[in-house]
């Protein structure tokens, strides 16, 4: 499993371009009638920390009004966010500093996965990553990964990670947004993932003063390792540079 980590704050559009390049490469290999004996491109995970951005899923594309977009992109005390439409599943969410975004690009069939199993694998890797920092997280009837019990932001059920994927001919893209030390005020400007009355949290909020808050890069490394352990046909992780994409 190839792992590309982008070490500095990165615009959503830059990561989206890298992701699209990898998706096109996999789709071209699947479409070619001369590639039956050639090794397909290796699965790749891009991890990054975005500059502030709100993105909406494919069901909301074209539905947000000019006023809604203006509200989301106005100046705040934490900075100013962009807005972009995405092809992933799910609804409007926030990505920004302090959040791990991980985009795995792979062919589900090559790894003997159904779409539902793939979402479970992503959620499972997030749950295992949270557990590595002493945070107990799990699944609910709602998408994503959640933490239970009263927290600093209030509420008994708080979302720590959003999950939204896109599939084309069994090639998956997009992935997860795990809050490490994210400013949670960004989420109060939206109905996060379309779920009324639900709060958000982060590893920082859950850890408190028990231990130092990890970096997004550190958490990303653990997430990729956890994901690789449960991928059929994958026997390790290889670090790559952006030039290798």
Residue numbering of the annotated binding site: 88-95, 162-164, 175-177
Q: What's the number of CA atoms in the CB half-sphere (13 Å) around residue 224?
A: 29
Q: Give the 3-state secondary structure percentages of the chain, helix then strand then coil, rounded to 5.
A: 35, 25, 40
The number of helices, as runs of H, and strands, as runs of E, in the chain is 5, 14
- The closest of 208, 215, 196, 108 to 155, measured between CA atoms, is 196
The binding site for substrate consists of 88-95, 162-164, 175-177
Alpha-carbon torsion 82, 84, 89, 92, what sign? Answer: positive
What are the strands, taking DSSP E only, across the chain? 2-5, 44-48, 53-56, 75-76, 79-80, 82-85, 93-95, 99-107, 137-138, 145-148, 157-168, 171-179, 199-200, 238-240
**What whole-number distance in Å separates Cα of residue 135 and Cα of residue 126?**
11
Structure tokens at 5: 């980590």
Catalytic residues: 193
Point out which residues pair with 196 in neighbouring strands.
none
Task: Report whether 129 contacts 218 (CB < 8 A).
Answer: no
- Residue owning tokens 């792992």: 3
């Amino acid at each position: 499993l190839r792992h590309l980590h982008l070490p500095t704050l990165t615009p959503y559009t830059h990561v989206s371009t890298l992701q699209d390049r990898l998706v096109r490469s996999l789709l071209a290999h699947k479409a070619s009638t001369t590639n039956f004996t050639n090794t397909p491109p290796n699965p790749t995970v891009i991890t990054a920390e975005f500059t502030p951005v709100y993105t909406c899923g494919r069901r909301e594309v074209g539905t947000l009004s000019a006023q809604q977009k203006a509200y989301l992109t106005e100046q705040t005390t934490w900075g100013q966010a962009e807005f972009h439409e995405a092809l992933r599943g799910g609804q409007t969410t926030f990505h920004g500093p302090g959040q791990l975004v991980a985009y795995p690009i792979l062919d589900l069939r090559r790894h003997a996965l159904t779409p539902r199993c793939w979402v479970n694998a992503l959620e499972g890797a997030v749950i295992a990553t949270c557990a590595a920092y002493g945070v107990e997280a799990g699944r609910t009837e709602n998408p994503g990964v959640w933490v239970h019990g009263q927290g600093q932001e209030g509420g008994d059920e708080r979302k720590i990670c959003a999950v939204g994927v896109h599939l084309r001919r069994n090639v998956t893209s997009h992935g997860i947004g795990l809050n490490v030390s994210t400013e949670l005020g960004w989420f109060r400007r939206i109905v996060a993932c379309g779920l009324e009355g639900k709060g958000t949290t982060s590893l920082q909020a859950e850890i408190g003063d028990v231990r130092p808050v990890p970096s997004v890069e550190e958490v990303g490394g653990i997430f990729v390792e956890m994901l690789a352990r449960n991928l059929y046909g994958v026997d390790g992780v290889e670090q790559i540079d952006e030039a290798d994409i």
